[in-house]
Structure 1
Amino acid sequence: MKRLIAVLALVIIFAQPGVSSAHSKLVSSTPADGSKLATAPSEVVLTFNDELESEGLKLSVTDANGTVVDTGDGRVDLADLERKTMRVSLKSGVGTGSYTVSWSVVGSDGHEVTGSIGFAVGDAALPVTPPESDQHNPGLPATGSNGFNLGMLVAAIIIFMVAGVALRRRSVRA
């Protein structure tokens, strides 16, 4: 009985993922965030750690004045069988300047995560971009929590207390 309760408590504690550990997170981009390029790219490619849903997807590239410089074709790349890649083409004539790539995705867990990266062409300054954010839990970064779950800890403590009382009663009767 003691072993069963201990195993159950450990399963409860460690089986719970962090608050947002399953959310989609940007893992790479072309051009890379913070890069300075000699010439403007023809497209921007973002790669995430999780499968993306096509519905609710937003991807745009703007210059320092807020003018959209992409062609409006932001999409999940269907050539990527894992559906972890997004692409958007840039208009011709994009030249020297700083650019912000803003995105909003819904991952396989159903949560919307937004973020942006920046790059510069020529000698322009890099744009300042905010960190990713979880739209279901504003204020929490989308990169996940430390995995600590207070509710599960309280449940485990209660289980241990009940087991202790049961074992004490059992030993008093013996």
Structure 2
Amino acid sequence: MAVRSFLITVCGALLLLLSAPAALAHDALKSSSPAKDAKVSSLETIELEFTSKVQVPVVVLRTKGGESVKLGKAEVDERTVTAEVTEPLPSGAYVIGWRVVSSDGHPITGEIPFTVKAADPTPTPSEETSAPAASESAAPATSVSPAPAPAAEQPAADATPASAEESDGGLPTWVWVVGALLVVLGVGAWLATRRR
């Protein structure tokens, strides 16, 4: 009898030891989107899946510097908790903080770090290139109107030096050239007659 009661006591103790961890274990996070340490180009919805039904979910999002990012109200559907990201996330490091009440009534919390590497916006370069093109196309229209004015003034400017030459010279240039030749010929003839 003593041996039998001893074996029953040992078996009961073993059952208690084996069942205790299962009884003490709380629900846990099974998966998340984004996953821990993931790199994403954008994020619209945070999704957390737990090993059992949870309630009273709280989800927050903050930058690496601790600045909070606005989220929609956290919703729970049995084991899944979702929260909408209400604005685009710039590139950088972020941390999701969550808190739920597990099926055994105990609150559990956790954090999920991840990184956003947003794609570079493409409209900006096209806008920058289209703006100079528009200014260049508009430039000839404004520069055409003043062009005729210098062309009309040019004959008057050319006429002024011509009248100045006539007033300064007094006589045409060919008259001076013929006179110089006559003087040279006269001097030559005088020298020739003197030698004779």
Class of the TM-score when normalised by the shorter of the 2 chains? 0.5 to 0.7
Q: Does 1:109 align with 2:104?
A: yes
Structure with a larger share of its residues in helix: 2
Structure 1: segments with no counterpart, 5+ residues: 124-174
Q: Does 1:26 align with 2:29?
A: yes
Q: Which has the higher contact order (CA 8 A, sep 6+)?
A: 1
Which structure's CA Rg is the greater one? 2
> What value does the CA root-mean-square deviation take over the aligned residues?
2.1
Secondary structure of 2:104's counterpart equals coil
Secondary structure of 2:114's counterpart equals strand
The percent of aligned pairs where both chains have the same amino acid is 27
Secondary structure of 1:32's counterpart equals coil
Matched positions, count: 115
Q: Is the 8 A contact 1:31 1:44 kept in 2?
A: yes
**Counterpart of 1:34 in structure 2: which amino acid?**
D
Deviation at 1:86, TM superposition (A): 0.8
Match of 1:122 in 2: 117
Structure 2: segments with no counterpart, 5+ residues: 119-196
Deviation at 1:12, TM superposition (A): 2.9
CA distance in 2, matches of 1:53, 1:93: 28
**Counterpart of 2:35 in structure 1: which amino acid?**
A
Deviation at 1:119, TM superposition (A): 0.6
Correspondence for 2:39 among 32, 36, 39 = 36
Match of 1:89 in 2: 84
Cα distance, 1:20–1:44 mapped onto 2, change above 3 Å: farther
CA distance in 1, matches of 2:23, 2:38: 28
Match of 1:49 in 2: 51
Structure with a larger share of its residues in strand: 1
Deviation at 1:103, TM superposition (A): 0.9
Match of 1:14 in 2: 15
Q: Is the 8 A contact 2:72 2:86 kept in 1?
A: no
CA distance in 1, matches of 2:23, 2:39: 32
